[in-house]
Each structure stands twice: as structure tokens, then as C-alpha cells.
């Protein structure tokens, strides 16, 4: 690592009940920290704003492979020593990769903040790549891929992404395929690391006691040379369509429906979050009641939203006996037709708001949830809203906007539909 002294600008130092500080270093690295009582465990995350979507010049799965391999070796420690060092300080460390970012995190007693932060920083930003490690990790990742291919939910998620964005990197599996992972070599890993693990492509988040001390620790770190900030490739969304394929991994038909909105502001995301609750996430929701409770067609039905930096997705997932396929599609279409003519009732919206407030508070419960939430807000909006502001915005969200977005959203023909059929 090259030592580079940096200055920092304080973007926000809130004086509310939730003290949150956001700083940007002169090299572009962004840091966000939230004060918590000393008796709570602290959490640290280092997030690289590149994921499988950014694998332009390397095989699919490189970002995920890199997430695995950094825990194998640094210049000072090998994998077993890394594990022991974390656990010696009472730290629970892990990582995950998405299409748009890779996040490394650790939770520990606040008294061990310095040691845990320095270790996490060393593992993530000063790793050493070794061919024997790569060969071992390749076997583990291939086993992970094979397991995912035997999970209908994972498989259908990848299939519908390929319908939406065909031949685009964002539609590729995060872990890659067996073939692409076999192609990944030490040159690819070095290239992706050098290209993306740069200060201006990183968000560091901290939630715990004494955030001023955390910033002091950060100032003592060494930083790589700054490079040009990466730009996301523009996406081309295909027209909505319906596809199905035979599968030998399931005895049921699995259905996923998805709609993409290229708006990515807080208005559409809040609307989608409430649609999610009113459609099938809540026990009183429309599809949960019609498909599960009233007709007993399915046990498994849920929905969700995915927030990307440049689009927002709402999806519905369910599974059922294949003989009921036409009936399920007809029920969902009829519910959508009702909504396109007349929006959700105000009583439904009131329930959705109350549940969304609870979900929002739960997302901010505990230091690990806090660092994840802080990172997402900085990545998506480059600002932080405290809990009071979030609850207020949910309370004040107007019914007229729900009506507007309902008309935009619930045309059945505009939804992508993919089915896995048992063969």
C-alpha cells in the first residue's frame, strides 16, 4: 500500500439524537459513522462499489472470487491466522458480493475496535494472491455454484435477469458459472483488484461507540494511489415477455414476476416498498390472501424490491402444483387488472405504512444492520436520513402518489414472467 496523506471534509455531523458523521477524504474515499452506546457491539464495513456488473474485462464471477480470496492471505498472515486473529478479538467477520458492490464487515466488542479495524483493513485492502490459494478456493466456489443451481429460487432469479437484460453483464450470475470460474486466474484477480479497490470506489461505515476515535484510526491508514472513478454501463431493458423451461430439480412449478422502473429516487422506491407489502409480503396482502389463505393453492409466496443505482425492481415469487399454473396466472392477472382500474384502498396503504415503519426500524437495529443501511444510503443517495426523517416521510407519503405509481406499475403485460416447470 502506498502511503498517501489525505485531508477530509466533513459533509455532515448531525446533532440529532442519532449522531451521524459523513466525511469524504481528498482521495475520494467516503466514510460514514453513527454513534452508539459503548455497551453495544460495534460493526465496521468496507464496501467496494463494484460487483458482478463491472466484470467487463474479466470472466464472470471475478468479483465474487476476489471476495473469497482476500481472506486467504495477506503479506503478514495466512488464512488460519486471519481467522484466529479475528476471533481472538471476539470479532465475527464475513463478506458478500452483489451485482453492484462487495462488502466486507466485522462485528466485535468496542474495546477491540482498533485491532479489528486494522485487521479488516489489512485483509481487504492489502491482500496477497497465491496460486495454491486460488486453486483451493476455486473448488469451494464451484461447489457453491452447483448448490445454487439446485435451488429453484436462485435459478429463476438468474433466468429472469437474463430476460430483462440479455447479453449484459448485470444479468450474469454473481458467482459466475463453473466454466467462467475455471477460467479465472491470478492475472484477472490482480487486474480487478487494481481497477476497483481504489479509495474513490470505497465506502467505509462504522456504527459503535466513540466515532471520533474511529476517524483517528482511519487517518492513520495507508491508501492506494487514487484512480479515475468507474462509471456504470448504461442498461438496455428488453420488452416484457413470458418464458418457461423444464427443470429436474423441482416437483413444483416456480413462478417469478418482475417489473423494472428506471426511476431510482426515494418516491418510487417508497412506493415499491409499499406495493411489496400490499401485494404479498404481509399476511393481509392481496396475493397472500387470494392464493394462500382463500384458495390454498400455495404455501410459498412472497415479494421484494431490489434497489440498483439506476433502476428499481419489484418482484413476486411463488410455487405450486403444475396443474394449477393457468389458475395462478389468472388470479394474479385479475388482481393486477383491479389495481390498474382502481388503486389500493386507503386502509391498505395505512397498514403498509405502519409495517414499513417497523421494517425501517428493524433495518436500523444493531450495529451490523446500521453499517449495512448507512452504506446503502450513501451508495444510492450520497446522504443519510435519520430514523425520525424516514418515519416522517413514510407517514406523509401521499395517497395520490400511490395512485399514480399503481397505474404505471400494474399492467400485467409489462411484467416479466418466468416459470420453472417440473419435467
Contact 379/204 with Cβ under 8 angstroms? no
248 and 180 in a single domain? The answer is no
Q: Tell me, what's the pLDDT at 385?
A: 87
Whether residue 224 is contained in a domain is answered as no
71 pLDDT more than 80 = yes
> Same structural domain for residues 212 and 293?
no
CATH number at residue 40: 3.30.830.10
> What is the Cα 315 distance to its own chain's centre?
15
Q: What total number of domains does the chain contain?
A: 2
Last residue of a domain, one of 156, 186, 219: 219
In a domain, 336, yes or no: yes
pLDDT, greater one: 231 or 316: 316
What's this model's pTM, rounded to 2 decimal places? Answer: 0.93
Q: Are residues 270 and 215 in the same domain?
A: no
Contact 129, 73 (CB under 8 A): yes
Q: Transcribe 24-70 into DSSP letters.
A: EETTS-EEEEEE--TTSPEEEEEEES--GGG-SSS-TTHHHHHHHHT
> DSSP class of residue 91?
-
298 and 186 share a domain?
Answer: no
Asked if residue 324 and residue 207 are part of one domain, the reply reads no
Cα–Cα distance list, 126 to 182, 231, 354 (Å): 25, 24, 45
Summarize pLDDT for 148-167 with one digit per residue, the tens.
999 999 999 999 999 999 99
Asked if 79 and 72 count as a contact pair (C-beta separation under 8 A), the reply is yes
Average pLDDT over the chain, rounded to an integer: 93
Percent pLDDT > 70 in the chain is: 94
- Can you tell me the distance from the alpha carbon of 221 to that of 204, in angstroms, rounded to the nearest whole number? 12
pLDDT of residue 223: 73
Q: Which residues of 7-46 are buried (b: 16+ CB within 10 A; e: fewer)?
A: ebeebeeeeeebebbbbbbebbbbbbbbbbeeebbbbbbb
DSSP secondary structure string, 270-323?
A: HHHHHHHIIIIISTTSHHIIIIIIIT---S-EEEEEEE-SS-EEEEEEEEE-GG
Q: How many CB atoms lie within 10 A of CB 75?
A: 9
Q: Are strands 253-261 and 416-422 parallel, antiparallel or unpaired?
A: antiparallel
Residues 178 and 285 in one domain: no
Q: What is the per-residue pLDDT across 384-413, written as a single tens digit (0 to 9) for each?
A: 988 899 999 999 999 999 999 999 999 999
Measured CA to CA, the distance from residue 171 to residue 157 in angstroms comes to 10
Residue 407 lies in a domain: yes
Residues 89 and 211 in one domain: yes
- The pLDDT value recorded for residue 386 is 85
Tell me if 234 is assigned to some domain: no
3-class secondary-structure state, position 357: helix
Helices (H) and strands (E) in the chain, counts: 15, 12
Picking from 219, 234, 265, the residue at the C-terminal end of a domain is 219
3-class SS at 386?
coil
The reply to whether 227 falls in a domain is no
45 and 104 Cβ atoms separated by less than 8 Å: yes
| 192 and 247 housed in the same domain | no
In a domain, 129, yes or no: yes
Same domain, 300 and 365: yes
Residue 319 belongs to domain spanning: 242-422
The verdict on residue 230 lying in a domain is: no
Both 93 and 157 in one domain: the answer is yes
Residue 2 has a pLDDT of 43
Looking at the structure, tell me whether residues 206 and 251 fall in a common domain.
Answer: no
211 & 314 share domain: no
85 lies in some domain: yes
Amino acid at each position: 500500500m502506498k502511503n498517501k496523506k489525505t485531508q477530509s471534509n466533513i459533509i455532515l455531523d448531525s446533532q440529532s439524537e442519532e449522531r451521524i458523521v459523513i466525511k469524504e477524504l481528498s482521495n475520494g474515499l467516503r466514510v460514514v459513522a453513527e454513534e452508539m452506546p459503548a455497551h453495544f457491539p460495534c460493526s465496521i464495513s468496507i464496501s467496494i462499489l463494484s460487483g458482478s456488473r463491472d466484470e467487463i474485462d474479466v470472466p464472470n464471477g471475478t468479483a465474487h472470487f476476489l471476495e473469497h480470496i482476500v481472506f486467504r492471505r495477506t503479506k503478514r498472515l495466512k488464512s488460519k491466522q486471519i481467522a484466529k486473529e479475528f476471533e481472538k478479538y471476539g470479532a465475527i467477520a464475513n463478506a458478500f458480493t452483489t451485482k453492484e458492490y462487495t462488502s466486507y464487515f466485522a462485528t466485535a466488542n468496542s474495546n477491540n475496535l482498533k485491532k479489528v479495524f486494522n485487521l479488516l483493513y489489512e485483509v481487504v485492502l492489502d491482500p496477497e494472491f497465491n496460486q495454491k490459494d486460488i486453486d483451493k478456493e476455486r473448488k469451494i466456489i464451484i461447489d457453491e455454484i452447483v448448490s445454487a443451481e439446485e435451488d429453484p429460487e436462485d435459478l429463476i432469479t438468474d433466468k429472469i435477469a437474463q430476460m430483462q437484460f440479455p447479453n449484459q453483464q448485470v444479468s450474469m450470475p454473481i458467482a459466475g458459472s463453473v466454466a467462467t470460474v475455471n477460467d479465472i486466474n491470478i492475472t484477472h484477480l490482480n487486474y480487478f483488484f487494481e481497477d476497483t479497490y481504489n479509495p474513490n470506489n470505497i465506502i467505509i461505515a462504522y456504527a459503535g461507540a466513540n466515532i471520533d476515535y474511529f476517524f483517528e484510526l482511519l487517518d492513520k491508514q495507508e491508501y492506494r494511489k487514487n484512480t479515475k472513478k468507474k462509471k456504470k454501463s448504461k442498461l438496455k431493458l428488453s420488452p416484457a415477455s413470458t418464458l418457461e423451461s423444464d427443470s429436474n430439480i423441482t416437483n413444483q412449478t416456480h413462478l417469478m414476476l418482475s417489473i423494472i422502473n428506471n426511476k431510482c429516487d426515494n418516491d418510487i422506491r417508497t412506493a415499491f416498498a409499499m406495493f411489496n407489502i400490499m401485494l404479498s409480503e404481509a399476511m393481509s396482502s392481496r396475493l397472500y390472501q387470494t392464493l394462500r389463505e382463500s384458495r390454498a393453492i400455495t404455501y410459498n409466496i412472497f415479494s421484494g424490491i431490489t434497489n440498483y443505482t439506476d433502476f428499481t425492481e419489484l418482484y413476486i415469487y411463488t410455487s405450486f402444483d403444475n396443474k394449477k399454473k393457468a389458475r395462478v396466472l389468472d388470479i394474479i392477472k385479475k388482481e393486477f387488472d383491479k389495481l390498474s382500474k382502481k388503486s389500493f384502498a386507503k386502509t391498505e396503504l395505512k397498514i403498509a405504512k405502519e409495517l414499513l415503519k417497523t421494517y425501517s426500524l428493524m433495518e436500523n437495529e444493531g450495529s451490523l444492520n446500521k453499517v449495512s443501511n448507512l452504506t446503502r444510503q450513501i451508495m444510492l443517495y450520497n446522504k443519510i436520513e435519520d430514523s425520525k426523517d424516514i418515519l416522517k416521510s413514510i407517514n406523509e407519503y401521499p395517497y395520490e402518489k400511490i395512485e399514480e405509481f399503481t397505474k404505471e406499475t400494474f399492467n400485467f403485460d409489462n411484467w416479466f414472467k418466468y416459470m420453472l416447470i417440473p419435467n
